[in-house]
Every structure is written in structure tokens, then in C-alpha cells.
Amino acid sequence: MSLPDSHSGARDTHGANDYERNLLRRVAARDRGAFQELYLIYHRRLARFLLRFTSRHDVAEEVINDALWVVWQRASDFRGDSTVSTWIMGIAYRRALKTLRSRSTKEWFIDLVDKLPTLAEDSREQTINQDWLMHALGELPIEQRAALELSYLSGHSCQEIAIIMDCPINTVKTRMFQARRKLKAILARLAAPN
């Protein structure tokens, strides 16, 4: 596998996807070693996305386990219309949505505020900005927040996000547009003097 071009920010997804497709075929044949390898490849990536999305370690771990169990059970259903990464992220996204919808929004937001990291005193302004951003993200509808996080924090294209979220690409673009507009209004409200 070649290294990414440091100037363009490109990554070698073709070689990685071929390798992961082979692993998935082996998982479909119930090869536990292949599943363990796929687990090791995806656990950290899923944890980063799901922790930002759910704001709770316990929920993120629960969703990772659920999603990877689905991968084990349904590996033979992978049609190859997308990358393995997009397929697995889609499973994790749908499992996370199901989990978050089963919890009340108020409970989720209280948990989010309680879990915000405490930074050193010399970065007080950064902490305030982070609090504002986390608060603003918490006010967005789940689908809009997920579209932003998948794009800006996980680096997925609109086409990949559409596959992950199981919706048309124009819906993804609309969700991202609306989310950015709402974030701007929420952040302006938070920054305004009382």
C-alpha cells in the first residue's frame, strides 16, 4: 500500500478498500481472525465518530459493539456499491440514531454538558468557545449534526454521507446547509451580550 501524498491530502483508499473487501469476504465465511482484524481497523475510527456523535463513552462502545455484531452477521450482504468503510459507518450511524432516539434529548444534553473536558486555565477562551460549539451542536437535529460531523470531523464526501445516512445526496447537502445556518444563529445568540 502506498503512502498518502502529503501535499494533496489524498489517501490510498483503493488499496485499503481492496484489503478490507477481502477481510469482509473472509468474515462472511465466518473467519474469526478476519473479523478480529476488521474490528481492530474500525474500532478507533468508529469510537472517534460515535463519541463526538453521542458524547458518551458507554453509549459509543455499546453502538460499536452493536454495529460490529451486525457486520459479523451481515457481511455476506455487502454488495460492494460503496467502500467497506462507508458501509460500516452507515451501520454504526443507524445504530447510533436508534440509540439516541430511545433517549430523551434533555438527558442527552445534560450528559453532554457534564462530559465536557476541563481545560487548563490558560486556555479559558478556548474552553468557552468549545462550550459554545458543543452547546450549539447539541441544539441541532440529530441528522443535521451527524451530516456536519461526518463531513468536517470524519472527512467523508457528500456522496459517502448519503450512503451512510441512507438518503439522497441533495438531502445531505440540505442538512449541511441548514445546520451551518442554524449554528451561525445559535453562536451569534450565545455571543450576544445579555
- pLDDT, greater one: 12 or 32: 32
| pLDDT bucket at 13, cuts 50 / 70 / 90 | low
Q: Which of 103, 137, 171 delimits the end of a domain?
A: 103
Q: What is the pLDDT of residues 172-194, one digit of tens each?
A: 999 999 998 898 888 778 777 76
Same domain, yes or no, for 16 and 78? yes
Given a contact cutoff of 8 angstroms between Cβ atoms, the answer to whether 86 and 183 are in contact is no
The boundaries of the domain holding residue 30 are: 12-103
- Position 110 in a domain: no
Residue 194: the pLDDT is 65
Three-state secondary structure call for residue 167: coil
pTM of the model: 0.63
Three-state secondary structure call for residue 4: coil
Q: Which of 71, 103, 135 delimits the end of a domain?
A: 103
C-alpha cell at 83: 467502500
Considering only CA atoms, which of 135, 50, 154 is closest in space to residue 98? Answer: 50
Q: What is the pLDDT of residues 133-143, one digit of tens each?
A: 777 888 899 89
Given a contact cutoff of 8 angstroms between Cβ atoms, the answer to whether 46 and 92 are in contact is yes
Same domain, yes or no, for 17 and 99? yes
Same domain, yes or no, for 65 and 129? no
Same domain, yes or no, for 16 and 97? yes
C-alpha cell at 108: 442527552
Same domain, yes or no, for 98 and 159? no
DSSP letter at 122 equals: G
- Position 23 in a domain: yes
Range 35-73 burial, b when 16+ CB lie within 10 A, else e: bebbbebbeeebbebbbbbbbbeebbbbbbebbbebbee
| pLDDT bucket at 51, cuts 50 / 70 / 90 | confident
| pLDDT bucket at 116, cuts 50 / 70 / 90 | very low
Q: How many domains does the chain have?
A: 2
